[in-house]
Structure 1
Amino acid sequence: MRQITRLATGIAFAMATTLPALPLWAGTTIADVDACMDTAAENGTLPTACVDNAHKECLEFPEDMQASAALCFTQAREMWTDGISAKLDDITATAPPQIAKIAGIEVKYDLLSALVQCDRMEELNGLREEATAEEILRQKTACTATASGLAYTKLAWRSRQLP
């Protein structure tokens, strides 16, 4: 319960202190990520760096702007969530029904297992006496955005092989 209260307080603080400074998430789009993944495929590299590239803006906030960084990561996660939904819709429209169901199950559990680790990290960070609510919120939103980004990237990478 304490964690939920801290998270809610942090979100309220983030919204109250950063809304006038919007937009925090300026330019990365799913199309940018897909182009990065195309480059990774051409170069024979893994596309996971595309998630870090997409979060670059959020990672550049200074330490005294934890709440702004948290809001930026929240906006990034929304982009990933929309991307996952659109990709699943594309797969459903073009792939055999069994493949579409498998893709949905895979992305669901990839995301759930990563989010459990984010919760674990949040609880462990809450044990540090010097940790502030803003730091914990920033770390949690960064983790959930990364989890969503990696789930999207894995789904999109695998779907490249579909007819």
Structure 2
Amino acid sequence: MEWNPAARLAASLALGLTCTTPAAAEEPLDLNAVRACVSTAIDLGNKPTGCVDSAHSACLRVSSETPAVAALCFEEARAQWSDAIGTRMEHLRDAAPERIAALAGIELKYDLLSSLVQCDRMEELALLREIPAEEIRTQKSRCTATASGLAYIRLLWRLPDPNPITPEEKQP
């Protein structure tokens, strides 16, 4: 299925009509909850990678009968993760020593690249298995959102804040 403006509008309307979760809002992720989840996991000595699935709970609850709605939800989540990564990197460039910010950028780049390569791999294998296009799109959208979410969480996990979170990083 090709996503022209009319199809995107229909999916957005369906999202608004079928979901009463945060996915129905403009922003499916609660970044404050993500940061709290990461902080709690670190305090407990656990890996915070499970925070991504928690953050995607609204998208994961979308009915499998509406794969376009789920795909759109994950695409919106991925966009939010990307914005959060940009904000975090800007904060690190402003607050951390230059070497630390450069290290964070390198780690981020290769974390994302390796994850996105796996998303492409999964997509190509699904095409060979002749899985329906809508299902492949949903899987790919979920994978890319998860890749971005994991990259953001690793930035929080590996590099504790050199200074408190800036107002731009806070989510209302």
Alignment of 1:13-162 (within 5 A): 15-23=8-16, 24=23, 26=25, 27-129=28-130, 131-160=131-160, 162=162
With the length of structure 2 as denominator, give the TM-score of the two structures: 0.82
The C-alpha deviation readout for 1:2-45, integer Å capped at 9, x for no partner, is xxxx6xx2x44861531213453545322110011111122221
Superposition RMSD on alpha carbons, in Å?
Answer: 1.8
Give the percent of matched residue pairs that are identical in Structure 1 and Structure 2: 49
Partner of 1:3: none
Residue pair 2:15, 2:69 contacting (<8 A) in 1 also: no
Residue pair 1:14, 1:67 contacting (<8 A) in 2 also: no
Stretch of structure 1 that moved more, 144-153 or 97-106:
97-106
Residue pair 1:37, 1:157 contacting (<8 A) in 2 also: yes
Give the distance between the partners of 2:85 and 2:116, measured in 1 at CA: 15
- Structure having the higher helix fraction is 1
Residues 158 and 134 of structure 1, relative CA distance in 2, 3 Å threshold:
same
Residue pair 2:116, 2:144 contacting (<8 A) in 1 also: yes
Secondary structure of the structure 1 residue equivalent to 2:65: helix
Give the distance between the partners of 2:56 and 2:134, measured in 1 at CA: 18
Deviation at 1:100, TM superposition (A): 0.7
With the length of structure 1 as denominator, give the TM-score of the two structures: 0.86
Residues 49 and 116 of structure 1, relative CA distance in 2, 3 Å threshold:
same
Runs of 5+ unmatched residues, structure 1: 1-5
Letter in 2 for 1:135: E
Residue pair 1:118, 1:140 contacting (<8 A) in 2 also: yes
Deviation at 1:66, TM superposition (A): 0.5
Residues 43 and 62 of structure 1, relative CA distance in 2, 3 Å threshold:
same
Deviation at 1:109, TM superposition (A): 1.1
Stretch of structure 1 that moved more, 77-86 or 24-33:
24-33
Residue pair 1:25, 1:76 contacting (<8 A) in 2 also: no
Give the distance between the partners of 1:161 and 1:78, measured in 2 at CA: 23
Q: How many residues are aligned here?
A: 154
The C-alpha deviation readout for 1:36-72, integer Å capped at 9, x for no partner, is 1111122221111110000111111122110000000
Runs of 5+ unmatched residues, structure 2: 17-22, 164-172
